[in-house]
Structure 1
Amino acid sequence: MNEDSLVRDAVFVSGAAAPMDQVLDLFHGVRLTPTQRRIAHSLVQHAASAAYLSAAEIAELAQVSQPSVTRFAIALGYDGYPALRRRLREITAAGHGRPAADVPVGNELQRAVRDEVENLHRLAEQLVDPDRVTAAGALLANSRPLPVLGLRAAAPLAAYFAYFAAKVHPDVRVLDTGGSLLADRLDQAQTAGATALLAIVLPRYPRESLDALREARLAGLSVVVITDSAVSPAAEYADIVLPAAVGAQLVFDLHTAPMTLAMVLLQAICDAAPSHTQRRLEEFEQSAARRQVFLN
């Protein structure tokens, strides 16, 4: 995906697209400016309520001007925002017309877990066509070293990915600290021969993460991003966007689907260089056995 294109994955729930995913359908194949991406992202994040908000309220939500909302609607092929809002209401009404069996039941904790299960179902549907994950795996497998960016909430996921990736890749570098040190380490990786960067960017999108993606692109690195949505702010700087929804039902977000996607991506890296992967794994097992690292 280039900088100004928008990638959207087909996601289905019980045989019909969920309202959030039908909203994403509105943007499929449309080239959006960074400002329009912010509006699109707000509509996706607030799919249930956006259909009943005015253009001014959408503008406030996305922190853009009201005329930008109007231009956004026209870019999607509507006469203006009222026409787009009518379409959003149709989508919302269709979503409310689901069979009773699809209505969430149970307490708040059960609903949060069920929502995560639904996020995994959506991810599974995306992987019906694995081409983008396969392409991302090839890009990352060939990068020596392989920098992995993850700041704030994404830092544990970046570390988790890197722990296992280091077993099959000779030089994985976790970039989990912001400030001038982040720029230094990114520059050092590029100077050492890195050709690609994996970035994990999750809400609430750290500004430093987006700055680092911008610098990576300027340095000529290919950028693969795992994020929560195809219209995430990080998508603007990515060559390949791999979306996985974040659970937002509890006080703090759940990252089950992004973590699963990270490991799926690691599998694609292994598949891109199977003989190298096998050799590295055998060497690790021999070393671990010699040092008696594990109990079994």
Structure 2
Amino acid sequence: MNEGAALASADRVLDLFHGVRLTPTQRRIAHFLVQHAATATYLSAAEVAELAQVSQPSVTRFATALGYDGYPALRRRLRELSTGGAGTTGRTGNELQRAVQAERENLDRLAEQLADREPITAAGALLAASRPLPVLGLRAAAPLAAYFAYFAAKVHPDVRVLDDGGSQLTDRLEQAGAAGASALLAFLLPRYPRETLDALGEARAAGFSIVAITDSPVSPATEYADIVLPAAVGAHLVFDLHTAPMALAMVVLQAICDAAPSDTQRRLEEFELSAARRQLFVS
């Protein structure tokens, strides 16, 4: 199976899980099936269990949760999905052009997802109310956390970027909590840093509400987050493209602004006056 067909197959498998409430163990199985969509159709329930590091009965219960009689019925459906249309036949040109075209498809999926505004609205309300607002992003996610925080600081009085791991990360989480933080925005993108997951576990234990922007509704973030906002990552080049997660970050910031419109307007006006006084911009 070529790369385009393999990615399309993974997308179709991922569609099986939309709207289904899965347990952490079931999310692990779902994540495995998405990541190995091209080969999972040839695996038995025991083999899936071993590779996903769960029990065989968990694989059976997972299939039942999706509405199938058992894993054999689910495997038949996976085979149908793997042999279906690639869904990427509209891509043309060289590999660089196809990579950019794939990002357009990721944005299209994100746009369809945003037809349901409830998760975004709920995320905006949680984050707007948190004083301070910690924003977590390690390794590949660090630039997205910084990008979000740069603009969020114009409408939120206290945004704190957590982009360094180690023992000081826990210190800064504890400091944010002591200062009154009630929610955390986390960016978790492949490859998933263990330190990020550890930090999410600590934040959850400390009582933070967690909003996670991640690449998939079955990513490891779902084990910790109250609200999971997925946006696909492009994987056609040597390094990932984060076009859709960056767009989603700005959508979340819009929701924060919408949750506190008067405060947003006041802070934006104050910034513009300060910027004019200091002559920050040439136009």
The normalised TM-score by structure 2 is 0.90
Alpha carbons 2:136, 2:163 under 8 Å: kept: yes
Task: Give yes or no for the alignment of 1:32 onto 2:19.
Answer: no
Q: In the alignment, which residue of structure 2 is the partner of 1:252? A: 239
Q: In the alignment, which residue of structure 2 is the partner of 1:272? A: 259
Deviation at 1:236, TM superposition (A): 1.2
Q: In the alignment, which residue of structure 1 is the partner of 2:4? A: none
Q: Distance in 1 between matches of 2:206 and 2:143?
A: 26
Deviation at 1:259, TM superposition (A): 0.3
The normalised TM-score by structure 1 is 0.86
Match of 1:282 among 269, 272, 279: 269
Match of 1:196 among 162, 177, 183: 183
- The one-letter amino acid of 1:32's match is L
Q: Distance in 2 between matches of 1:25 and 1:122?
A: 11
Q: Distance in 2 between matches of 1:77 and 1:245?
A: 25
Q: Distance in 2 between matches of 1:120 and 1:29?
A: 20
Q: How many residues align?
A: 276
Structure 2, unaligned runs of 5 or more: 1-7
Deviation at 1:213, TM superposition (A): 1.1
Task: Give yes or no for the alignment of 1:47 onto 2:59.
Answer: no
Q: In the alignment, which residue of structure 2 is the partner of 1:94? A: 84
Q: In the alignment, which residue of structure 1 is the partner of 2:73? A: 83
Q: Distance in 1 between matches of 2:280 and 2:90?
A: 48
Structure 1, unaligned runs of 5 or more: 1-17
Alpha carbons 2:200, 2:224 under 8 Å: kept: yes
1:69-218 alignment runs, 5 A limit: 69-96=59-86, 102-218=89-205
Q: In the alignment, which residue of structure 2 is the partner of 1:240? A: 227
Deviation at 1:282, TM superposition (A): 1.0
Deviation at 1:31, TM superposition (A): 4.0
Q: Helix, strand or coil for the counterpart of 1:204?
A: coil
Deviation at 1:264, TM superposition (A): 0.7
Deviation at 1:167, TM superposition (A): 0.5
What is the CA deviation profile of residues 91-130 of structure 1, one whole-angstrom value per residue up to 9, with x for unaligned ones? Answer: 223334x5xx834322111111111110001001111121
Deviates more, 1:22-31 or 1:263-272: 22-31
Q: Distance in 1 between matches of 2:19 and 2:116?
A: 17
Alpha carbons 2:182, 2:208 under 8 Å: kept: yes
What is the CA deviation profile of residues 182-206 of structure 1, one whole-angstrom value per residue up to 9, with x for unaligned ones? Answer: 1110010011000110000001111
Alpha carbons 2:24, 2:222 under 8 Å: kept: no
What is the CA deviation profile of residues 230-250 of structure 1, one whole-angstrom value per residue up to 9, with x for unaligned ones? Answer: 111101111111000000111
Deviation at 1:65, TM superposition (A): 4.8
What is the CA deviation profile of residues 60-110 of structure 1, one whole-angstrom value per residue up to 9, with x for unaligned ones? Answer: 5434455543443344343433221101111223334x5xx8343221111
Q: In the alignment, which residue of structure 1 is the partner of 2:212? A: 225
Deviation at 1:211, TM superposition (A): 1.2
Identity of aligned residues (%): 80
Q: Helix, strand or coil for the counterpart of 1:51?
A: helix
Q: Distance in 2 between matches of 1:261 and 1:153?
A: 16
Deviation at 1:38, TM superposition (A): 1.3
